[in-house]
């Protein structure tokens, strides 16, 4: 399978993350992408670089002020504080009738939901090229150049809401890709198989009927992202019925997870969508440091074949998957099985 990747995505390199009352090494490290990239190349997958499609496709799903802040916030932070320590917010709004402040300290809090998305010197470049990776993959499917392709996006994106970062995510790459596909396809599905609910993707499309959002994830009642991703959240207005959350209990094993895959396939088949964006989280793995469920490498292989059988033009966008022992094996297994089922 061809995959898209740009090494500039590695420039976002946060060191620490404040979690459960303590600073820990930040889980979203550049090494994640390096391991997956190198394993795919060793397995004879073909890597290509993205072209620069500009910022307009990102602003098609994100607030313009938010996008501009992420791309310019670092030099503003350095100028305002006189330091080059990571820019981490210590103020937050309760969303969303409050005013956008003028200074970088206030903006940092306004455009962030938590402390997991610090701005560092390379953040703007990394998130820009992560988005361009998704756009390039979507463009190739949109134009019919390919039927399926993988975007090795890093940082990930599915927690980023319309106007705020969240959970390691800045630009919502899957949402950007889906919106880009809408330039050709009348209705698009996003299937999210990350262990965490894709609250940002849900937020962006919750009132739209032209993008079906289906998510398989761990129960968020005591697990990130906590506030969204429940089964009774099904969309609003024109989007009524176009959001489906297939929730897994903590401790779910392969059989339970694959049963949700089957349910998602049936929902997508019945929806009449013409193309698919797959938010691929490898962090359901039983040995992923952030996982509370028990997916296996063989489970990823079986799940990939189920999704490939939909036969839809497909953009696979990388989401979670952290530095567990089987990360690269799971990527190779999933993408290899998807490719084999389509050839």
Tell me the pLDDT tens digit for each residue of 152-180: 999 999 999 999 999 999 999 999 999 99
pLDDT tops 70 at residue 236:
yes
With bands split at pLDDT 50, 70 and 90, how would you rate the model's confidence at 83? very high
pLDDT tops 70 at residue 74:
yes
pLDDT tops 80 at residue 332:
yes
Residues of the chain with pLDDT > 90, as a percent, come to 94
Q: Tokens for 150?
A: 């993988």
Residue 26 bears catalytic tag: no
Mean pLDDT over the full length of the chain: 97
Query: What's the CATH number where 338 sits?
Result: 3.40.800.20
With bands split at pLDDT 50, 70 and 90, how would you rate the model's confidence at 90? confident
Angle formed at CA 251 by CA 249 and CA 254, multiple of 5 degrees = 95
In the chain, the number of structural domains is: 1
Over residues 195-217, the mean pLDDT reads 98
Strand duo 22-25 + 16-19: pairing: antiparallel
Is 306 exposed, middle or buried, given 0-12, 13-18 or 19+ CB atoms closer than 10 A?
A: middle
H or E element in which residue 247 lies: strand 243-248
For residues 201 and 158, is the Cβ–Cβ distance under 8 A? yes
pLDDT tops 80 at residue 96:
no
Indicate whether 47 belongs to any domain.
yes
Indicate whether 97 belongs to any domain.
no
Catalytic residue among 148, 159, 180, 217: 159
Indicate whether 106 belongs to any domain.
no
Give the residue with greater pLDDT, 97 vs 67.
67
Indicate whether 250 belongs to any domain.
yes
Indicate whether 320 belongs to any domain.
yes
With bands split at pLDDT 50, 70 and 90, how would you rate the model's confidence at 328? very high
Of 96-100, 232-236, 249-253, 304-308, least confident by mean pLDDT is: 96-100
Indicate whether 259 belongs to any domain.
yes
Domain hosting residue 160, numbered range: 2-62+126-342
* CA neighbours closer than 13 Å in the CB half-sphere of residue 267: 24
Give the residue with greater pLDDT, 134 vs 96.
134
Over residues 90-110, the mean pLDDT reads 84
Please state, in angstroms and rounded to a whole number, the distance separating the CA atoms of residues 246 and 198.
12
Tell which residue, 328, 325, 315, has the closest CA to residue 133. Answer: 315
Indicate whether 289 belongs to any domain.
yes
Over residues 280-294, the mean pLDDT reads 98
Over residues 15-29, the mean pLDDT reads 90
What pLDDT, on the 0 to 100 scale, is given for residue 95? 61
Over residues 1-11, the mean pLDDT reads 98
Indicate whether 134 belongs to any domain.
yes
pLDDT tops 90 at residue 97:
no
Please state, in angstroms and rounded to a whole number, the distance separating the CA atoms of residues 302 and 47.
24
């Amino acid at each position: 399978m061809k995959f898209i990747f740009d090494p500039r995505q590695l420039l976002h390199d946060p060191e620490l993350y404040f979690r459960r009352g303590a600073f820990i090494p930040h889980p979203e490290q550049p090494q994640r992408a390096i391991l997956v990239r190198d394993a795919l190349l060793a397995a004879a997958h073909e890597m290509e670089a993205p072209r620069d499609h500009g910022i307009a496709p990102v602003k098609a799903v994100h607030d313009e002020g938010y996008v501009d802040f992420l791309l310019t916030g670092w030099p503003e932070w350095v100028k305002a504080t006189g330091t080059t320590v990571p820019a981490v917010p210590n103020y937050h709004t309760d969303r969303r009738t409050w005013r956008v402040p003028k200074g970088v300290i206030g903006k940092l809090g306004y455009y962030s939901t938590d402390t997991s998305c610090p701005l560092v010197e390379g953040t703007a470049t990394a998130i820009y090229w992560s988005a361009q990776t998704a756009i390039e993959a979507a463009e190739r499917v949109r134009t019919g150049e390919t039927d399926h392709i993988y975007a090795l996006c890093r940082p990930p994106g599915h927690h980023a809401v319309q106007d705020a970062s969240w959970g390691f995510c800045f630009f919502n790459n899957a949402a950007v890709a889906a919106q880009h596909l809408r330039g050709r396809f009348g209705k698009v599905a996003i299937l999210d198989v990350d262990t965490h609910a894709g609250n940002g993707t849900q937020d962006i499309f919750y009132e739209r009927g032209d993008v079906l959002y289906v998510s398989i994830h761990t129960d968020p009642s005591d697990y990130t992202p906590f506030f969204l991703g429940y089964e009774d959240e099904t969309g609003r207005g024109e989007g009524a019925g176009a959001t489906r959350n297939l929730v897994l209990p903590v401790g779910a094993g392969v059989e339970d997870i694959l049963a949700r895959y089957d349910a998602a396939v049936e929902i997508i088949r019945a929806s009449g969508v013409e193309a698919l964006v797959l938010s691929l989280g490898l962090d359901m793995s039983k040995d992923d440091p952030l996982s509370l469920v028990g997916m296996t490498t063989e489970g990823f292989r079986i799940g990939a074949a189920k999704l490939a059988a939909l036969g839809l033009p497909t953009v696979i966008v990388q989401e979670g998957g952290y530095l567990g022992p089987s990360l690269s094996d799971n990527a190779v297994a999933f993408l290899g099985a998807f490719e084999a089922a389509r050839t």
